[in-house]
Structure 1
Amino acid sequence: MANRVLIVGGRGRIGSSVAQDILTYTDAEVTITGRNPEGSLPPELSPDRSRFLALDLADSAALRQAVSSSNLVVHCAGPFHYRDAGVLKTCIEAGVNYTDVSDSRSFTRRALDCRETAKNAGVTAIINTGIFPGVSNSMVRRDVEQLDSAEHIHLSYVVGGSGGAGVTVMRTTFLGLQTPFDVLVDGKLQQIKPYTDRETIEFPAPYGKTGVYWFDMPEAITLPETFPVKTVITKFGTSPDLYNHLTWFVAKYWPDSWLKNNSVIEFLSYVSYGMTAVSNNFSGVGVAVRSQVSGIKNGQPAKVRSTALHPNAATAAGIGTGSIAQLMLEGTLTKPGVWSVEQALSTELFEGAMQSRNLKIEQVLL
């Protein structure tokens, strides 16, 4: 029998990109879910091996039935700031493997709290599997492995316009401005305000030198758990640079009560999405990720830098998650418990998956 994959929230841009990757690289049958009973498959998906299922995550009985009919569940229903670990827990109870495109620190902590339960149930759950987090985690692991010891990790990301994604990505950005967060710097936890400490990073063309700012990402908590480093920096920026300055202004000057108001978040999200509909025409919708790891090699200080580039950020997220799904369906990637990508995926498997999808990652030893 063919594998059956359930993609929760699969009608969005990222969810449909994940579905396309799975349909291309596996023989699985894919079920896409959405809340609207009148919903349908995204037009880019063929009905030959895919179908639509109306599903409200609040309906626990319907969720259990859908999960139990699947070999793998892919959770794409963001923003994950609003999500509990209910889908993951349902998968663990049903003995079904799980992965997701989560990008929220709070959700990541809730998911990791289920590690022992998943391990005891023999369920493999791999979280944060898109482009960043996701591919970015594996880039760091690959860089760390080039050194005898690693001390400092610096991850930077830039997205062109909307990134080819929907309004949910805009919500995620503004939700990330709500709360200061802890980061590991020089061996100590420090509290950082979001979208501060602008830094200019050299990305591959067409981005070049681009401003990036502190942004709360799950890698900031999973990488120190995985590698014995002293510092983990995660910074994010957008192109064109005008959006960086506008986001910085909102983060710095708008009252906390505004940023924690759902109506304000919705307003900002839709206004921003409307603006990118225009700017996408000249900024593109691509993504670039840069990993730089500093440490010791052969007794001397050394740095390893990797960069990845894709013309569509949503498609790149589909590649990250779809490749994990493929390896899980094939039985190549089996690790009972709940894990971030760098904790579960070997560099050899990562390189093979990226090569098969023509996502080139350049790496240099400095």
Structure 2
Amino acid sequence: MTTAKCGGGAVLVVGGYGAVGVTVTRTLAGWFPDRIVPAGRDLARARRLASEVGSGRAARVDVADSPGFARVLEDNRVGVVVLCVEPPDAAIARACLAGGVHLVDVGASHHLLAQVDALGEQAAARGATAVLSVGVAPGLTNQLARRAHEEVGGADRLDVTVLLGSGESHGADAVRWTVAQLAVPAERRAGGGTRPRRVALPGYGIRTAHPFPFSDQHTLRRTLGVPEVTTRMCLDSAPLTAALFGLRRAGAFRAARNSYARRVLTSALTRVHLGGEGFAVRADAFGGDRHAAYALTGSAQSRVTGLVAAHVTRRLLTGGLPAGVHHLDQLRDLASLPENLSRYGTTLWTPDALQAAS
């Protein structure tokens, strides 16, 4: 297996001043002073953050402008790109990997991740590494699913549950993405099971989680070879969860397929702060008569997603990750991330701990 070259050059954090990107920028700037370049469409915001973290550089980047993006890579001698906003297609990833630039992608849309997956041979040939499914969900969910899968000796079915804090100030991109997924037709929505599921989440009791098209339900079928994978979601506010998914069943989100309606719904949901900032993720694996589950809880999902991306980037900069395109759960060198994040207030729940807590 080819190992990627150590990440020389600057680190371009695209969306570096957003809800996720600001954590990436600040964390990496603490480890690698003078190498971090916050970037986005608002150059003034990028420059202000660069000044705050002691970086001498910032850049204007529009992910819909791939020629302009390529110029930014060259002008700043970029070695690693951390992508904290979702581009319209794989052109940004293609520009990175063709130029031998490493990529850390926080994106969560399966169709885009599949396009980047297809660039594996190109990345390997250039000695570049792309790490996908980087964050809480997908990301830590993938890692917990792998642990549960291995615990049962190979799962026939995986159930992944995500509880998000409805009181957290999620970034506009994240809310926009959520609205788009709520509008996905039922026949395209579920990767496995189609029914809600009652599940115990540490600190939150028994919750009803509803099928939701996170990308890991597609990715894990391939990376783990599990035939049935379903991802479900709920909010920490049970009434808000019931209202949200009740509206989906009633077809209220069909209008979100229209761009104007999507903007209106995104704006409305961005203002809703009825719960707290905590989150919980859980992965259950079923293999024959065996069952195992792992969970992780914490606060401020956007911040923890940024921390995951920062740790992955640091590993790239210090070398050792294989060249090519990989999802987080495929990189054994990063398998200890759930434990390493405990210093930031997260808690990893093993099967024994979950059983004791139930």
* Band the TM-score falls in, shorter-chain normalisation: 0.7 to 0.9
Structure 2 counterpart of 1:92, one-letter code: L
In structure 1, C-alpha distance between the alignment counterparts of 2:151 and 2:216, rounded to whole Å: 19
The answer on 1:316 being equivalent to 2:313 is: no
Structure 2 counterpart of 1:125, one-letter code: A
In structure 2, C-alpha distance between the alignment counterparts of 1:320 and 1:51, rounded to whole Å: 23
The answer on 1:63 being equivalent to 2:91 is: no
**CA separation of 1:351/1:47 partners in 2, compared to 1, >3 Å: closer, same or farther?**
closer
CA contact (8 A) 2:148 2:294 kept: yes
**CA separation of 1:162/1:338 partners in 2, compared to 1, >3 Å: closer, same or farther?**
farther
In structure 2, C-alpha distance between the alignment counterparts of 1:357 and 1:284, rounded to whole Å: 18
Q: In the TM superposition, what is the alpha-carbon distance from 1:354 to its structure 2 partner?
A: 3.0
CA contact (8 A) 1:16 1:42 kept: no
| Length, aligned pairs only | 343
Q: How do residues 1-366 of structure 1 correspond to structure 2 at under 5 angstroms?
A: 3-27=9-33, 29-41=35-47, 46-49=52-55, 51-68=57-74, 69-78=77-86, 83-180=88-185, 181=188, 183-185=190-192, 197-205=195-203, 207-254=204-251, 258-276=255-273, 279=274, 283-295=275-287, 301-332=289-320, 334-346=321-333, 348-351=335-338, 353-355=340-342, 357=344, 359-364=346-351
TM-score, normalised to structure 2, is 0.87
**CA separation of 1:254/1:341 partners in 2, compared to 1, >3 Å: closer, same or farther?**
same
Q: In the TM superposition, what is the alpha-carbon distance from 1:347 to its structure 2 partner?
A: 6.0
**CA separation of 1:324/1:145 partners in 2, compared to 1, >3 Å: closer, same or farther?**
same
Q: In the TM superposition, what is the alpha-carbon distance from 1:302 to its structure 2 partner?
A: 2.2
Structure 2 counterpart of 1:8, one-letter code: V
TM-score, normalised to structure 1, is 0.85
Structure 2 counterpart of 1:204, one-letter code: P
Structure 2 counterpart of 1:100, one-letter code: D
CA contact (8 A) 2:47 2:57 kept: yes
In structure 1, C-alpha distance between the alignment counterparts of 2:294 and 2:251, rounded to whole Å: 36
**Unmatched runs of 5 consecutive residues or more in structure 2:** 1-6
**Unmatched runs of 5 consecutive residues or more in structure 1:** none
In structure 1, C-alpha distance between the alignment counterparts of 2:285 and 2:324, rounded to whole Å: 27
Q: In the TM superposition, what is the alpha-carbon distance from 1:148 to its structure 2 partner?
A: 2.2
In structure 2, C-alpha distance between the alignment counterparts of 1:284 and 1:51, rounded to whole Å: 35
In structure 1, C-alpha distance between the alignment counterparts of 2:21 and 2:55, rounded to whole Å: 16
In structure 1, C-alpha distance between the alignment counterparts of 2:335 and 2:109, rounded to whole Å: 27
Identical positions, percent: 20
SS in 2 for 1:13: coil
CA contact (8 A) 2:179 2:253 kept: no
**CA separation of 1:132/1:217 partners in 2, compared to 1, >3 Å: closer, same or farther?**
same
In structure 2, C-alpha distance between the alignment counterparts of 1:241 and 1:51, rounded to whole Å: 44
In structure 2, C-alpha distance between the alignment counterparts of 1:163 and 1:115, rounded to whole Å: 35
The C-alpha deviation readout for 1:123-171, integer Å capped at 9, x for no partner, is 1101120111011111112222323222221110011115332222211
SS in 2 for 1:67: helix
CA contact (8 A) 2:102 2:130 kept: yes
Q: In the TM superposition, what is the alpha-carbon distance from 1:288 to its structure 2 partner?
A: 0.7
Structure 1 counterpart of 2:80, one-letter code: L
CA RMSD after TM alignment = 2.5
CA contact (8 A) 1:156 1:212 kept: yes
CA contact (8 A) 1:18 1:318 kept: yes
Q: In the TM superposition, what is the alpha-carbon distance from 1:28 to its structure 2 partner?
A: 6.3
In terms of fraction of residues, the more helix-rich structure is 2
**CA separation of 1:179/1:5 partners in 2, compared to 1, >3 Å: closer, same or farther?**
same
The C-alpha deviation readout for 1:276-311, integer Å capped at 9, x for no partner, is 2xx2xxx21121111111226xxxx32221111111
Q: In the TM superposition, what is the alpha-carbon distance from 1:67 to its structure 2 partner?
A: 2.2
Structure 2 counterpart of 1:34, one-letter code: G
The C-alpha deviation readout for 1:182-210, integer Å capped at 9, x for no partner, is 6554xxxx8x5xxxx332221111x2222
